[in-house]
Structure 1
Amino acid sequence: MWTTRVLGLLSLASLGAAGACDSASFNATASVAIASAIAVRSLVVGAEACFQVTCTEPSAQWVSIGFAASSKMVNSPVTNAVVFKSASTSVQLYALGDYSASGITLQADQSAIRVAQAASVNGVATFTFSRALAGSSADVALTDGGETTVLWAYGTSAWPAYHAARGATRLVLSSGVGPAQVFAAASTVVTTYTVIIVAAAFVTLLAMGLIATHAGDNWRVIHHKTLLAPPGSSHAAGAVLQPLADVKVGEWLVVAVYIATLAIIGASVNHQFVGASATRAASLTTGHLALAHLMLLLLPVARGKHWELAFGIAPDRILKFHRALGRVGVLLMLAHLLLNAVDRNVTTATAVGTQEAVPLYGFLAFLAFASMGLVAFEPIRRRWYEAFLYFHRVAAVAGIVLAMLHSMAVVYGMIFPLVIYGLSALGRLRAFFNRFEAHVEADAHGTVTLLLPSTPQTKRWAETMNPCSFFYVCIPSISATEWHPFSAIVSPKQDSIGFCIKAPKKGSFGDKVCRAAATSPALSVLVGGPYGKLSVDIAKYDRVVMVCGGVGVTPMLSVVNQSRDDKRHRDGKFVLHWVVRAPSDLLMADSLMHPLPLHVTSTLYVSTATAGSSARSLSGEDVAFLAGRPVLDEILNHERFLGEKVCVLACGPPSLVADVQRHAYELGFPFHKEVFAF
């Protein structure tokens, strides 16, 4: 018996020495399919293994096969791949150092394989080679009866070129004659945690918001407290510093969580793709950071009461985050695109890399988002607001769909924000059922007042909506698709609400409303809301100083009228300073304003007047005014409000609001401003 075994071992040794591919047993071994167009025949003979690869794809100009420790094309340490080129029928070893063409290099030492045959006949490519079972610095060890991961790919362009198809499978090598066992293809997608990290960050923000909003007055201060002083009116960097001065303490905490989230995502991506080249690591990092921004981008524009309940702020307050996320996100997308363009065609429709991303869809998504960012710049947005809205919505849908087609990671990441946005959109559909015949009052100075009829709904809004709330208003007779935000004014009787609409320029929505009001005493309107919430709780202050200019008086009128019958407000609690350009402007919302209640102390100004005078309101009251503008040092100081808790509200021209904000900051008065910056 022992002599038979010795003879068998000697026979195997002689076969290995002659070459595993020369074995008669190899030719008797059946091939197994590892892909639709690729089959492999394998046999272990002694210390070697022989492989024959057949590719039936007629357009294939190169075919490759490799053995690796994982299903990823690029591993650490770097592994080899055997590449067959149809044009020259050559078979050579290449090191898979990176996913780019420049990272795949010809091995100087080709002795790791022994090529037995190579041919390309009638569109069928075959090549046969053997290699040692033992591992080396660039070759994983193979074992008889052991499972190994086989990487395969082929391309339809001349080598070196990106693959047309690729994949990975698991193959059990054997010294026995018969087909090798093939297991289900191993996934080449590397697990990433960007979606989980962003979700955890959102939960953290949600918990912080709930604490700040509902854990007591000591926490609510972060809603109106700022860290940076407003810049002076002549400061050279005022355009940059003013937005930073507007950021509240709570919003800085949001920024801190945001920065930490980006840092964690960057560290996670680099950990998951350890060994990637610097260019690929940067590409992956910028791509995942862009995904994080895309996930967060929809949330600030998902309008609804949920933001007020969770964070104690109104949707308009978080629009700044939408703009910032959009701009930074587009820059990250651009960086991601440029990093990929270094080594590959960014317009190919073939899935590439371990994550199987499709470059073409990513490129088109970038164009959609970049064009949105361009059109959203303030000068363009304000001049062509309606066109901006239409384009923004269409490009947003296109960009999100294309981004989801670009990568499955985007699909998973967008599920939650799309659900939140979809649910909020369902809530906003109620606006299409809030139709009213509004009474119209027009004056000769480009201002129209719309007063909704008193109904259970409008009365409920007047009684329960937050001070300084706004609604989105649509007038179908002017445009069935345009919805514009306007501050709501509670009527003096507190049984309805109205809106004061000013025409800023010819052809604008306000101008169209003014022209329609000139020919009709009533207009059918749709309203959606209310939205908006003050960052200060005016009920907790002894004095509420309101400084406004022009149509900026409208949110202040709502505060005044809502408190007309509230016995808790002593005389003089509300101090109103309103400046306009012409005396007639004092009557722009006459029916909703005059006469003012007794608990309001008002001082009105006309900037173009040379002397004080008065204007006659519809109620017959003489509305007195002073010439010039309010002197802020005189109306805002500690001596005037000695021993009293004071907050300041402002709305109107940016220069006026900035001056008021600066004075309030210097005095330590809590400050809130209403802005018309949509």
Structure 2
Amino acid sequence: MVDKDADGRITEAEVKEIISLSASANRLSNIQKQAEEYAALIMEELDPDNAGYIMIHNLETLLLQAPNQSVRVGDSRILSQMLSQKLKPTQENNPLKRWYHKTKYFIIDNWQRIWVMMLWLGIMGSLFAYKFVQYRNKAVFDVMGYCVCVAKGSAETLKFNMALILLPVCRNTITWLRNKTKLGAVVPFDDNLNFHKVIAVGISIGVALHGIAHLACDFPRLLHATEEEYEPMEPFFGEEQPPNYWWFLKGVEGITGIIMVVLMAIAFTLATPWFRRNKLNLPKFLKKLTGFNAFWYSHHLFVFVYSLLIVHGIYLYLTKKWYQKTTWMYLAVPITLYACERLIRAFRSSIKAVKILKVAVYPGNVLSLHMSKPQGFKYKSGQFMFVNCSAVSSFEWHPFSITSAPGDDYLSVHIRTLGDWTRQLKTVFSEVCQPPPAGKSGLLRAEGTNTSFPKILIDGPYGAPAQDYKKYDVVLLVGLGIGATPMISIVKDIINNMKMEEMEEDSFPGSGLENGNYNKKNNKGFKTRKAYFYWVTREQGSFEWFKGIMNEVAEMDEQWVIELHNYCTSVYEEGDARSALITMLQSLHHAKNGVDVVSGTRVKSHFAKPNWRQVYKNIVLHHQGARIGVFYCGAPALTKELRQLALDFSHKTGTKFDFHKENF
């Protein structure tokens, strides 16, 4: 393509053109910008005599050379073959045995969720049956029939679910329970938002049953009742029989019920992924009514819904005694608890003020905020906090993983601009940032150089699955794109603990703190001895987000405690002709300068997507029989594959993989 005169000679300008074409094909904009520099590097390697050209066969030889890869731990061929044999999919001819094995694996992986769901369904079934039987034995049954039994049974489950749905979003309470008690061993606190959604589905079913039973069944039966049939109803509906359907709708019970249904329908609809993430192709005037902001504000209609629910529970047709009106009894404790949570947030965020130390806007629309750490703000790696910016919205609080480590003297978050609020946040901070210096990416602002930063409030920290990484000797950390944020905090925490161990050993030689005893004495609960971090991102510029941390790990981790694996999916897989030159350039540049041309760090990047089965297999080879913690944050698409592989390897190799996914 480049040696057009077919003389076998390639000039530096032609080498530059080859690099530009390869970088363009693999969407590596940074390499494309530095094509001239990399062309000079290749000429220096292949043209030591400064002839002004290189021979094409020399370039071909360099291209065909396999990258020099060092193997940290020698693989055992026998163990690898045995493992491969174990992991071969077996075809079970007996469908009953196949079903048995699938069911067994499912129960082992989900037993915590199963018992919670069974308990929830059992309580709802009991409440429904209790009210159903109660009204089956009342005089109203003779007029309204089973319609009133269904309406009252579903109403009882509604009251229970309307109370219960608040508990999964009481984050302070959940964080305290998972940190201070042993309940985390049997209660899946990490699934709090999923359980919140399940309860919402239960409420929807209850509303449908309650509304249809009343409007389409027992009200019409009451209207068409004879005088003799209506007589037992007089204590409840008055001496005069309701004249028409409108009589029911215009009453307090009817108005409050209809308004509640409308408000809940709005909140439920805008909370679905299609509306919350703007996945629907709607007209412009309707687009404004969707997105995360619409979801957030519509969800706060719950204040009106609960107020109307209490009123609706007071003005009941068939219940006149106050102690039989149980709606307020169901709601009293959850509403009080939730109100206290919101008051704690308001109080804590106001007294724990933060000051912006540094702002950076990176390629890939990522905003990094470094803040001062409030006194007494203690957190664990993997946890998250809520952020509020009054310049964008005084009311909205959004959750973000904390990317700084507990040992750092500052707090940091990295925010990807994906929705309305994050786009506006990036805009207001970009306005106070200076353009980047020549050759630098990102917009930086150090403390004291600008006093007009927008005010930021924080609330937290809150528990998340990733905070449990310290319980495992070996962890596999997987982050997709901005999903690397909680994993970065964990990596930094491991590095800080390594530094503390070295300082302790240097300060107290011969004290018995060598060989890892430091963790057991001075760092209770920290067990991690090996971490594999896989960061998969689509854009080359994304590596700028955590460039400093990657370099720090590569420089200091002499004992190979942390294995860093960066994957750039925009580049064609290794071995593909379209990425061959990039592979060669990467090896050459890393060997000479110790810097990867793709990531710009000391960590060499891989191309395309990881082979996750091979990743699990390599971990089993080096940690046979161990218990591995797998922590994932990113798009839902990869969740099923990673979870299924964790199950497969756990049940076929004897090495236990515990899978955890960030859910907020």
Shorter-chain TM-score category?
Answer: 0.5 to 0.7
Which residue of 1 is the match for residue 608 of structure 2?
Answer: 628
Q: Distance in 2 between matches of 1:493 and 1:403?
A: 47
Return the TM-score normalized by structure 1: 0.57
Does 2:421 match 1:509?
Answer: yes
Q: Distance in 2 between matches of 1:653 and 1:480?
A: 29
The percent identity for this pair of structures is 19
Which residue of 1 is the match for residue 299 of structure 2?
Answer: 392
Q: Distance in 1 between matches of 2:108 and 2:404?
A: 28
Within 5 A, what are the aligned runs for 1:505-584? 508-520=420-432, 521=445, 522-534=453-465, 537-566=468-497, 567=501, 568=519, 573-584=530-541
Which residue of 2 is the match for residue 440 of structure 1?
Answer: 359
1:604 alignment partner AA: N
Q: Which has the higher contact order (CA 8 A, sep 6+)?
A: 2
- Could you give the per-residue CA deviations for residues 539-586 of structure 1, whole angstroms, max 9, x where no partner exists? 342211112211111101111112223244799611111111122211
Correspondent of 1:379 among 274, 278, 285: 274
Within 5 A, what are the aligned runs for 1:582-593? 582-593=539-550
Which residue of 2 is the match for residue 100 of structure 1?
Answer: none
Work out whether residues 535 and 672 of structure 1, in 8 Å CA contact, stay in contact via their aligned partners in 2. Answer: no
Closer/same/farther in 2, CA of residues 419 and 486 from structure 1, 3 Å limit: same
Closer/same/farther in 2, CA of residues 491 and 620 from structure 1, 3 Å limit: farther
Which residue of 2 is the match for residue 150 of structure 1?
Answer: none
Q: Distance in 2 between matches of 1:293 and 1:632?
A: 40
Within 5 A, what are the aligned runs for 1:179-328? 248-275=110-137, 276=141, 277-304=145-172, 305-308=175-178, 309=180, 311-312=183-184, 317-328=191-202
Correspondent of 1:473 among 379, 383, 387: 387
Work out whether residues 136 and 146 of structure 2, in 8 Å CA contact, stay in contact via their aligned partners in 1. Answer: no
Compute the displacement of 1:588 (Å).
1.3
Does 2:345 match 1:363?
Answer: no
- Could you give the per-residue CA deviations for residues 564-622 of structure 1, whole angstroms, max 9, x where no partner exists? 232447996111111111222112133455422512111111111234437679x9853
Q: Distance in 2 between matches of 1:646 and 1:636?
A: 10
Q: Distance in 2 between matches of 1:664 and 1:261?
A: 33
Within 5 A, what are the aligned runs for 1:415-430? 415-429=332-346, 430=348
Compute the displacement of 1:523 (Å).
4.3
1:627 alignment partner AA: F
Correspondent of 1:402 among 283, 308, 315: 308
Closer/same/farther in 2, CA of residues 644 and 286 from structure 1, 3 Å limit: closer
Work out whether residues 191 and 663 of structure 2, in 8 Å CA contact, stay in contact via their aligned partners in 1. Answer: no
1:447 alignment partner AA: V
Compute the displacement of 1:535 (Å).
7.2
Work out whether residues 357 and 407 of structure 1, in 8 Å CA contact, stay in contact via their aligned partners in 2. Answer: no
Q: Distance in 1 between matches of 2:161 and 2:109?
A: 20
Does 2:649 match 1:650?
Answer: no
Paired residue secondary structure (2:626): coil
1:575 alignment partner AA: Y
Work out whether residues 161 and 199 of structure 2, in 8 Å CA contact, stay in contact via their aligned partners in 1. Answer: yes
Paired residue secondary structure (1:452): strand
Does 2:623 match 1:641?
Answer: yes
Which residue of 1 is the match for residue 214 of structure 2?
Answer: 340
Q: Distance in 2 between matches of 1:314 and 1:563?
A: 26
Which residue of 1 is the match for residue 36 of structure 2?
Answer: none
Closer/same/farther in 2, CA of residues 322 and 635 from structure 1, 3 Å limit: same
- Could you give the per-residue CA deviations for residues 326-383 of structure 1, whole angstroms, max 9, x where no partner exists? 122122112111111124289x9x99569x9823322322222222211211111223
Q: Distance in 1 between matches of 2:488 and 2:640?
A: 21
Work out whether residues 452 and 498 of structure 1, in 8 Å CA contact, stay in contact via their aligned partners in 2. Answer: yes
Paired residue secondary structure (1:477): coil
Q: Distance in 2 between matches of 1:351 and 1:653?
A: 58
Closer/same/farther in 2, CA of residues 624 and 572 from structure 1, 3 Å limit: farther
Closer/same/farther in 2, CA of residues 589 and 345 from structure 1, 3 Å limit: farther
Compute the displacement of 1:246 (Å).
12
Q: Distance in 1 between matches of 2:407 and 2:550?
A: 11
Q: Distance in 2 between matches of 1:247 and 1:284?
A: 37
1:509 alignment partner AA: W
Compute the displacement of 1:433 (Å).
3.2
- Could you give the per-residue CA deviations for residues 377-417 of structure 1, whole angstroms, max 9, x where no partner exists? 11112231112111210x21111111111123322221111
Q: Distance in 1 between matches of 2:336 and 2:417?
A: 37
Work out whether residues 492 and 592 of structure 1, in 8 Å CA contact, stay in contact via their aligned partners in 2. Answer: no
Q: Distance in 2 between matches of 1:353 and 1:526?
A: 53
Higher mean alpha-carbon deviation, 292-301 vs 362-371, is at 362-371
Closer/same/farther in 2, CA of residues 307 and 251 from structure 1, 3 Å limit: farther
Work out whether residues 381 and 406 of structure 2, in 8 Å CA contact, stay in contact via their aligned partners in 1. Answer: no
Q: Distance in 1 between matches of 2:527 and 2:211?
A: 62
Which residue of 2 is the match for residue 187 of structure 1?
Answer: none
Closer/same/farther in 2, CA of residues 262 and 451 from structure 1, 3 Å limit: same
Work out whether residues 468 and 559 of structure 1, in 8 Å CA contact, stay in contact via their aligned partners in 2. Answer: yes
Closer/same/farther in 2, CA of residues 298 and 645 from structure 1, 3 Å limit: closer
Paired residue secondary structure (1:474): strand
Which residue of 1 is the match for residue 9 of structure 2?
Answer: none
Which residue of 2 is the match for residue 44 of structure 1?
Answer: none
Closer/same/farther in 2, CA of residues 605 and 620 from structure 1, 3 Å limit: closer
Closer/same/farther in 2, CA of residues 500 and 314 from structure 1, 3 Å limit: farther
Which residue of 2 is the match for residue 176 of structure 1?
Answer: none
Closer/same/farther in 2, CA of residues 494 and 550 from structure 1, 3 Å limit: same
Work out whether residues 303 and 315 of structure 1, in 8 Å CA contact, stay in contact via their aligned partners in 2. Answer: no
Aligned residues: 423
Paired residue secondary structure (2:605): strand
Work out whether residues 296 and 417 of structure 1, in 8 Å CA contact, stay in contact via their aligned partners in 2. Answer: yes
Which residue of 2 is the match for residue 411 of structure 1?
Answer: 328
Work out whether residues 315 and 531 of structure 1, in 8 Å CA contact, stay in contact via their aligned partners in 2. Answer: no
2:258 alignment partner AA: F
Work out whether residues 314 and 533 of structure 1, in 8 Å CA contact, stay in contact via their aligned partners in 2. Answer: no
Compute the displacement of 1:285 (Å).
0.9
Which residue of 2 is the match for residue 673 of structure 1?
Answer: 660
Higher mean alpha-carbon deviation, 269-278 vs 333-342, is at 269-278
Closer/same/farther in 2, CA of residues 494 and 336 from structure 1, 3 Å limit: same
1:284 alignment partner AA: K
Paired residue secondary structure (1:499): strand
Q: Distance in 2 between matches of 1:492 and 1:600?
A: 18
Which residue of 2 is the match for residue 431 of structure 1?
Answer: 349
Q: Distance in 2 between matches of 1:318 and 1:571?
A: 26
Larger Rg: 1
Q: Distance in 2 between matches of 1:571 and 1:418?
A: 40
Does 2:644 match 1:662?
Answer: yes
Paired residue secondary structure (1:300): helix
Closer/same/farther in 2, CA of residues 293 and 370 from structure 1, 3 Å limit: same
Paired residue secondary structure (1:358): helix
Paired residue secondary structure (1:344): helix
Compute the displacement of 1:495 (Å).
1.9
Which residue of 2 is the match for residue 102 of structure 1?
Answer: none
Q: Distance in 2 between matches of 1:584 and 1:297?
A: 41
1:411 alignment partner AA: W
Paired residue secondary structure (1:604): strand
